[in-house]
Amino acid sequence: MQESYVLGIDIGTGSVKAVALTSKGNVLHSGQIFYTNTNTAKTEQDTGLVWEAFQQNIRDAIAYIQAPPFAIGLSSAMHSVLAVDENGQPLTNAVLWSDTRSTEIAQNLRGMPLGEQLYLATGTPVHSMSPLCKIRWWKEADPALFARAHKFISIKEAIWHRLFGEYAVDYSLATATGLFNHQQLQWDDAALLFAGISSEKLSRPVPVTHQKSGLSAETAGRLGIPPSTPFFIGGSDGCLANLGSFCLSPAEAAITIGTSAAVRITSKSPVQKPAQMIFNYLLEEGTYVSGGAVNNGGNVFQWLLKNLFAGHGTVNTYEGLFQVIASVPAGSNGLLFLPYLHGERAPIWDEKSCGVYFGLTASHGLAQMARAAAEGVAFALGQILSLLEESCGPVTQLRVSGGLVEAGAVMQLLADSTGKEVVVQQTEDASAIGAALLVLKKTGLIDDYNAIRPMTGRVYLPNPAARAVYKDLFPLYQSLYPLLKDSMHTISQRQNL
């Protein structure tokens, strides 16, 4: 007889992922369906494509396992927003976190006392990624569209509305909008006033364990599940990645390295850092996921391969690139790299920052430049980690997930640069695992998350010699951005981005 399972679904910016998980912690199936977005300053997503991928993932899991799930939990990327009319039909595509059209609004707000007030109240950094700034931008740039909008919702809210005809948003996603007061658990009046909307323009905030069943016969038929199948609204991908990585104490930090990257810890109180704007998002009531996200993660390695190594036949794959990085000693022969190829979020929050090689001489070649770029990514994550440790105490272990976990050279570099033990997570999507875990506990299939905590994966320990090199270089790395900030802003005016 087939063991019962729950399905965790993670709705991302480039794909929908699904993981089927049993109460014993066995992964029965994992799937992923990709879609495309526009990749300019105007970064958007077609919610119709997302809905099709969502449905197909459920059907694929059932076809593989030959049985429907006991329940389904949802995760999704943060900071997306779209306008819908009174019938729930999209008036726009979903505008993603990486869209930069509201940059000027965000920069102006950061320079006002209101900016710090809203950060402290909502836990969301003031940045063009946030729906707070995006909605304000819509009001100024397209008043006619703004007036027609019945609701401003996220991608997951759009999926939930298709499923049940209900406008609801979980506390976890709401705390990433810049509009939700994480202490009062309601929409923040000052944020609403800045955005130019009332709370009626937003969905009803609900706990991450909010449950709904009773699909229409048509929708249930499309998904291949009984109409009575319970759905749990779940949380954001970042918060659920901490749960799926089993980072349940402040001594454990979760690092996700995909296209971008993030460092997060779980704590019982927010980490208030107005200058660096450490985010504070709710996993559950009374449980925060605090940390910082960087724009530059796996995309830096993509840039290396596409540009620096273009035309070099011997290094035309990521595997080859990582071998090159591993061949260079720690410190890259005195070469540093500020990895701000796509501007930067935490901890500098500067959309006009740019990449910089510092210390470049005729003695450096492509191999040292590649190693320095990888070290720059690690140093950027290390800056966030240091800020979290200032408030929450020492972190002893980094649990890493994402596309770069198979790059042993990068994982070792991360251990060496931070001085922490690095544990590589299982390859299944940590956010989808987190959504499934939330469902398992809420339905009573498990009593405690740690009951099915997986055995430790691959472990990387710091190399003492390399660690000593990085301890010397890290302060120099940290000093560079403040010195170069004004020059970065000046040169950005001559760049056609």
DSSP 343-384: BB-TTT-BTT---EEES--TT--HHHHHHHHHHHHHHHHHHH
Alpha-carbon Rg for the chain, nearest whole angstrom, is 22
pLDDT number for residue 126: 95
**For residue 7, what pLDDT is reported?**
99
CATH superfamily of 6-239: ATPase, nucleotide binding domain (3.30.420.40)
- Do residues 140 and 178 lie in contact, with contact meaning Cβ atoms separated by under 8 Å? no
At 167 the pLDDT is 99
β-strands 356-358, 204-206 pairing: unpaired
Q: What is the structure's pLDDT at 400?
A: 94
Percent of the chain with pLDDT over 70: 98
- Give the separation between CA 99 and CA 79, rounded to whole angstroms: 10
In the chain, list all ranges with CATH 3.30.420.40: 6-239, 247-424+463-497
Does residue 304 surpass a pLDDT of 70? yes
In the chain, what percentage of residues exceed pLDDT 90?
89
Does residue 169 surpass a pLDDT of 80? yes
pLDDT at position 38: 66
What is the rounded average pLDDT of the residues 154-169?
99
Residues 39-89: tens digit of each pLDDT: 556 789 999 999 999 999 999 999 999 999 999 999 999 999 999 999 999
In contact, 436 and 423? CB cutoff 8 Å = no
DSSP 406: G
| Rounded Cα distance, 221 and 95, in Å | 30
Phi and psi (nearest 5°) for 77?
A: -65, 150
Q: What is the pLDDT of residue 416?
A: 99
427: pLDDT strictly greater than 70: no
Pairing type for strands 27-34 and 15-21 reads: antiparallel
Mean model confidence pLDDT for the chain? 95
Among 56-65, 148-157, 211-220, 343-352, the least confident range: 343-352
Q: What is the mean pLDDT of residues 91-108?
A: 94
Taking Cα atoms as reference points, which of 262, 237, 272 lies closest to residue 433? 237
Residue 303 CA, distance from chain mean position: 20
pLDDT tens digits, one per residue of 109-124: 999 999 999 999 999 9
Q: Which CATH superfamily is domain 247-424+463-497 in?
A: ATPase, nucleotide binding domain (3.30.420.40)
What integer pLDDT is reported at residue 40 of this predicted model?
A: 59
- Look at residue 382 in the predicted model and tell me its pLDDT: 98
**What confidence category does residue 450 fall into, taking pLDDT thresholds of 50, 70 and 90?**
confident
358-380: string of b/e by CB count within 10 Å (b at 16+)?
bbeeeebeebbbbbbbbbbbbbb
Rounded (to 5) percent helix, strand, coil in the chain: 40, 20, 40
pLDDT grade for 3, boundaries at 50, 70 and 90: confident
How many Å apart are CA 361 and CA 357, to the nearest integer?
10
Residue 240 and residue 436 in contact, taking contact as beta carbons nearer than 8 Å:
no
> Cα separation of 385 and 382, whole Å?
5
Region 143-163 average pLDDT = 99
Q: Of the candidates 395, 449, 461, 373, which has an alpha carbon nearest to the alpha carbon of residue 423?
A: 461
Q: Give tens-digit pLDDT for 395-423.
A: 999 999 888 999 999 999 999 999 999 99
Torsion of CA 266, 269, 273, 277, to 10 degrees: 60
Say what the pLDDT of residue 425 is.
Answer: 74
- Give the pLDDT confidence score for residue 39 in this predicted structure: 57
What does the pLDDT read at residue 113?
97
Question: In a 3-state reduction of DSSP, which class is residue 395?
Answer: coil
- At 247-280, the pLDDT tens digits run 988 999 999 998 899 999 999 999 999 999 999 9
Average pLDDT over every residue of 350-362: 96
Q: Mean pLDDT, to the nearest integer, of 284-306?
A: 95
Contact criterion met (CB below 8 Å) for 270 and 291 = no
Minimal CA–CA distance to 260: which of 227, 307, 221, 300? 300
Residue pair 240/221 in contact (Cβ under 8 Å)? The answer is no
Residue 312, pLDDT score: 80
Give pTM, 2 decimals.
Answer: 0.93
Contacts of 25 (CB under 8 A, 6+ apart): 452, 453, 454
Q: In the structure, what pLDDT confidence band is assigned to residue 156 with cuts at 50, 70 and 90?
A: very high
Phi, psi of 235 (to 5 degrees): -140, -160
Which one has a higher pLDDT value, 178 or 316?
Answer: 178
What is the band of 1 on the pLDDT scale with cuts at 50, 70, 90? Answer: low
| Residue 426 predicted with pLDDT over 70 | no
